[in-house]
Chains A and B, each alone.
Chain A
Amino acid sequence: MAIVERPTAPLELTTGEPETIRPLGVMTRPQGTTGWKSWLTTVDHKRIGIMYGAAALFFFVLGGFEALLIRLQLAAPGQKLYSADLYNQLFTMHGVTMIFLVVIPLGAAFMNYLMPLQVGARDVAFPRLNAFSYWCFLAGGLLLNTSWFLGGGADGGWFAYAPNTGVTFSPSHGMDFYAIGLQLTGIASLVGAINLVVTVLNMRAPGMTLMKMPVFTWMGFVTQLLLVFALPVISVALFLLTFDRLFNANFFNVSEGADPLLWEHLFWIFGHPEVYILILPAFGVVSEIIPVFSRKPIFGYPFMIFSGIAIGFMGWGVWAHHMFASGMGPLSVAAFAVSTMFIAVPTGVKILNWLATMWGGKLRFTTPMLFAIGLVTMFTIGGLSGVTHAVAPSDTQQTDTYYIVAHFHYVIFGGALMGFLGGLYFWWPKVFGFLLNEKLGKWHFWTILIGFNLTFGPMHILGLQGMPRRMHTYVEGYGFDFWNMVSTIGAFIIAVSMTIFAANVLLSWRAHRRNPVNAGPDPWDARSLEWMVPSPVPSHNFDEVPTVSHLDEFWHRKYAENAEGKVVRVATGAEVAQKGDAENVHLPSPSYWPLVVAAGLPIIGYGLIFNLALAAVGGVIVVLGAFAWGYEPADDPEAHHGHGGHDDGHGDGHGDDDGDGEGELATVGSGPAGTTGEEASDD
């Protein structure tokens, strides 16, 4: 039942006169769904997800080059391949790139693509805002990297401790690009987080209670809540830094009475939840993969969900474990040591639940499964070294050494990245319609596993032997030489493995072009709703929004208990899956304005650094763009209906197109009223 009768004609105002709204009378609304320009104006969560993934992989190559340059310099003692100044920029940019421009957007790629599908929705709550998130993120990432050409990359380290990041000690513009670039990516993630939180809370399919959502969506949901609360903190810190650097403020000026530890606290109050933001989506990915390739459900779904929530909450109480040597005083150190120790409990529960999922299963070692097992085994190592850091007296020996570098690479690379690589292989056929080559996939996995362990395993030893971080060189006679060389060799093996991945993508795509056999909706015999639609997913997602009665709803439509109580197949995936041929499905309309507003922001950024007049121009673009966006109806009253952009005639209303008892699209804001998942229960 539609709550509000939707008009069939352009908006009728109370004067009774129909009026066509043209944004500023300047641009007609884009309507195309094909061609490269349609990607610039898309508001489709799937396309946005793909763009996040592509950008992340591009930045991964960039960050990888920075890493290789670092490893080349450190391969032997006393080398002078390039200046200490360049080294400092390289390690700073490597860290910032990998965290903010690779792992976060990879998570965003998966969450954007999958969360609406997994909850049975057609898109997110605010589609244009979603597009804005992406373009704003891209603007921030590109702005940050133009620093290389405009006076030097950021050189304060990725956590940018004051006062070293002030103008006196970091005179180049690198740290300005850092502050503004991360401000932009922060806006992107914050806005996206609000979007996904609302989507999960309001747009689930009928019957999908919170405890029937897939683990991936739950982990994504906790991640988005963490983002909502953590990003404002770093935004504030970055504003303080920007005002110090550009406008002579004194937030971190010690001679005016500032305490540098203010930056440390602000940064790490953000920075610690940040690492859970990095890992939880990957935890979600492997929680989807392992059950599929064990052929049994996730072991202990409630514990998996509650441990994720626990990590989300407890993650706020541990930040100063990054500051054990900062002079906080033993009482503070003690408190954070204890809280840090206990956060290992919910994380450990997950490891054991994944292993218990595999127990008693019939394990299929496809490439996604190999990567998932990789996460479980490698994250365990990182988690164990993490527990040793919680032992605060020990940490005063470990902190700022390569032992810490080893820890976080094991959890971020061995954990998050391995998980995401598995996810790429797993969901590739769903997104693109063809599978990646299994043989090359296995080569990719084994070479990266070996290369990764050779690169970062020895760093545990280097750290314990006293090699500090962020050293542009080291000397003979300290026992650092051999393991540094091993580590460098490992780094190049990682480079080889990612080349294999690139080759896999290219060759698999070419093979598919030559012989276009579709992977089908369900190539893996999987469990959740995204596998119940064709591959690639049609723009309208579901022909018919499904009614959900189980966790792993799709699986339960394929398998049921027979008369003897044995679980047997009752249908194939292809039989259960929807055909994707629904017509007259109303979709959110494309728009230019997210791109325009997002393009104005970096102009403000460059203006703040170089010329305030330019900042004013950027400001005008942002404000005007925002107004235009606001006046533009959420749905184009002149939009053609149906998927694929075909002109199949004007629809007969935006109401209950498919007869399942609810309106199509929950868009909040102006325009025809939308209905939400809440109302769509029993009609």
Chain B
Amino acid sequence: MTRRRRLALVLAPLLLFVGACASDAPQSTLDPKGPIARSIDALWDGVFIVAVVVFILVEFGTLYLVIRFRRRADDTDDDLPAQTHGNTRLEILWTLIPAVLLGLVGFFTLVTLFDINRKDDDALAVQVTGQQWWWEFTYDTDGDGEFTDEDVLTANDLVIPAGQDVNLEIGSNDVIHSFWIPALNGKKDAVPGSEHPLRLNADEPGTYVGQCTEYCGLSHGYMRQRVIAMTPDDFDAWLEDQIPEAEMPTDGEAAAGAELFATQCSGCHLARGINDEEFADQGDGTELLVSGNAPDLTHFASRGVFAGGIFNLWVDKDGDDIIEKDEISEEFNRGAVEAWLRNPPAEKPMDAPALPEPGGEKIRGMPDLNLPEEQIDQLVDFLETLE
């Protein structure tokens, strides 16, 4: 094989790495979209080059040895090569040089590590809570410095202002999950019983995707999160719009759906302004679920995705299958919501065989409620009004 061919074989995967900066790799770790991710990526670039150099030296070195020192046809077993036992100076050298090299890598590692872990205490704080198998986000809208049920609760889409730090406090209601948006920062585990900080910062408004990255059971593969970064003005407007209660619909079908929601769904879900009483009566959503928490649906129709981020709530218009801010509230993806309500466990593996009896074993996920089609239609009509 010619030298050039061999070089091409080595470079091809390198090129593929570079080529991963394509728009069809929205979860790529090599395409940073914010200063923190960029800092990590810069460190990676340097270390990767060192690794490639060592790779070439060792692998091509081996190839060279294998060719140059192969036994020739006329060698007999009694033709022994020089029986070198070692070379202490050389060995010390090739112990020290890698140590120094690694020390350098270590130095830059620590610099970046402490840089990305600094915290701007004035930045917006959002509480991120993982549970099987979706993410909840809490904004301290009542300004009391605490994250409580009096604050705005949303799910799946973490909305943040672009161009500034956002401090996440990440926890869990059941098992260990991990929150990750590769374009913006590395991941941080959501561990029940503690809160872990993670800083996000997106250069520009846009939609950045991620997945749960700590094995958390049945639907670990179906637990997704997204960040929607908006201009600071748009963000303020969005947050303002999240605070009010939902409006009780007046139109027949949607109103019927609202009533159904209050009677059927209050064991787990709350839509403020619609079923506050029923929700409180049935234990504030803590009675039926192991995690004690189901998504708050007050502004369900302001989100881009649902069911733990695996289904689009709106129809994708620009062909990238990612529902961005401008696609929300365009064309409702009715079919997906209907399919979900028809039989949630068929759409997403969960441990929720049926609605539990009072005092019965709690479930993990949403069960099949055996709703007739007419009721499903009404519920979907209602859900669409929850902007």
Contacts and interface: CB of A to CB of B under 8 A. Distances in A.
Interface of A: 83-85, 88, 156-157, 161, 163-164, 168-171, 254, 257-261, 294-297, 299-303, 325-327, 330, 333-334, 337-338, 341-342, 344-346, 348-349, 351-353, 355-356, 358-365, 373, 376-377, 380-381, 384-385, 387-388, 390-401, 457, 460-461, 463-479, 525, 559, 567-569
Contact of A164 (B27, B217, B322): B217
A471 to B, nearest CB: 4
A257 B192 CA distance: 10
A400 B30 contact: no
B384 to A, nearest CB: 25
Given A361-B69, A461-B20, A467-B27, A568 B84 contact: no
B40 to A, nearest CB: 5
Nearest to A357: B84
Given A338-B110, A349-B91, A377-B58, A325 B16 contact: no
Contacts of A295: 77, 80-81
Contacts of B374: none
B58 A380 contact: yes
Contacts of B39: 393
Nearest to B177: A164
B243 interface: no
Nearest to A171: B351
Contacts of A388: 44, 47-48, 51
A654 to B, nearest CB: 41
Contacts of B88: 300
A85 B182 contact: no
B293 to A, nearest CB: 14
A345 B105 CA distance: 13
A161 B13 contact: no
B339 interface: no
B138 interface: no
A352 B182 CA distance: 36
B329 interface: no
Nearest to B40: A393
Contact of B110 (A327, A334, A471, A569): A334
Given A257-B193, A377-B58, A472-B221, 17 more contacts: A88-B217, A164-B215, A169-B364, A300-B91, A327-B196, A338-B106, A345-B98, A356-B86, A358-B65, A376-B62, A391-B105, A464-B30, A465-B27, A465-B29, A466-B210, A466-B211, A479-B22
A259 B192 CA distance: 8
A379 to B, nearest CB: 10
Interface in B172-208: 174-176, 178, 180, 182, 185-189, 191-194, 196
Contacts of A359: 65, 69
Contact of A479 (B24, B75, B77): B24
Interface stretch (B112-120, B155-163, B300-308): B112-120
10 contacts: A157-B215, A294-B69, A333-B113, A355-B58, A377-B58, A387-B47, A400-B178, A457-B13, A466-B25, A473-B221
Interface string B62-82: 100110011110010111111
A376 B55 CA distance: 12
Contacts of B249: none
A339 to B, nearest CB: 10
Contacts of A156: 215
Interface residues of B, number: 100
A479 B28 contact: yes
Interface of B: 13, 16-17, 20, 22, 24-30, 37, 39-40, 43-44, 47-48, 51, 54-55, 58-59, 61-62, 65-66, 69-72, 75, 77-88, 90-91, 94-95, 98-99, 102-103, 105-106, 109-110, 112-114, 116-117, 132, 170, 174-176, 178, 180, 182, 185-189, 191-194, 196, 210-222, 290, 320-322, 349, 351, 364
Contact of A84 (B27, B112, B176, B218): B218
Contacts of A349: 91, 94-95, 98
A333 B351 CA distance: 35
B91 A341 contact: no
Contacts of B321: 475-477
A341 B100 CA distance: 11
Contact of B213 (A257, A333, A400): A400
A398 B43 CA distance: 13
A308 to B, nearest CB: 14
Sorted from nearest, which 4 A-B pairs have the closest CB atoms? A396-B186, A466-B27, A327-B196, A479-B25
B186 A325 contact: yes
A622 B134 CA distance: 48
Contacts of A363: 65-66, 69-71
Given A360-B81, A397-B29, A401-B213, A303 B114 contact: no
A397 B31 CA distance: 12
Which residue of B110, B170, B210, B349 has the most chain A CB atoms within 10 A of its CB atom? B110
B193 A345 contact: no
B94 A352 contact: yes
A217 B67 CA distance: 31
A255 B168 CA distance: 23
A466 B69 contact: no
B26 A477 contact: yes
Nearest to B348: A84
A353 B86 CA distance: 8
Nearest to A261: B191
Contacts of B182: 397, 466
Given A466-B25, A468-B211, A360 B82 contact: yes
Given A361-B81, A467-B27, A567-B83, A330 B114 contact: yes
A296 to B, nearest CB: 5
A173 B91 CA distance: 52
A384 B55 contact: yes
A363 B222 CA distance: 52
Contacts of B290: 168-169
B215 A169 contact: no
B62 A478 contact: no
Contacts of B22: 479
A132 to B, nearest CB: 35
Contacts of B43: 391, 393-394
Contacts of B185: 396
A524 to B, nearest CB: 10
Which residue of A85, A396, A470, A479 has the most chain B CB atoms within 10 A of its CB atom? A396
Contacts of B217: 88, 164, 169-170
A391 B42 CA distance: 12
A163 B175 contact: yes
Contacts of A254: 192-193
A164 B216 contact: yes
A365 B194 CA distance: 56
Contacts of B186: 325, 393-397
Contacts of A478: 24-27
Nearest to B187: A325
Contacts of A381: 55
Contacts of A568: 78, 80
B176 A364 contact: no
Which residue of B17, B48, B59, B191 has the most chain A CB atoms within 10 A of its CB atom? B191
B212 A468 contact: yes
Given A330-B117, A377-B59, A299 B84 contact: yes
A387 B40 contact: no
A561 to B, nearest CB: 9
Nearest to B70: A363
A235 to B, nearest CB: 23
A390 B17 contact: no
A464 B28 contact: yes
Which residue of B39, B78, B79 has the most chain A CB atoms within 10 A of its CB atom? B78
Contacts of B65: 355, 358-359, 363
B109 A337 contact: yes
A297 B83 contact: yes
Contacts of B66: 358, 363, 365, 373
A327 B178 CA distance: 10
Nearest to A472: B221
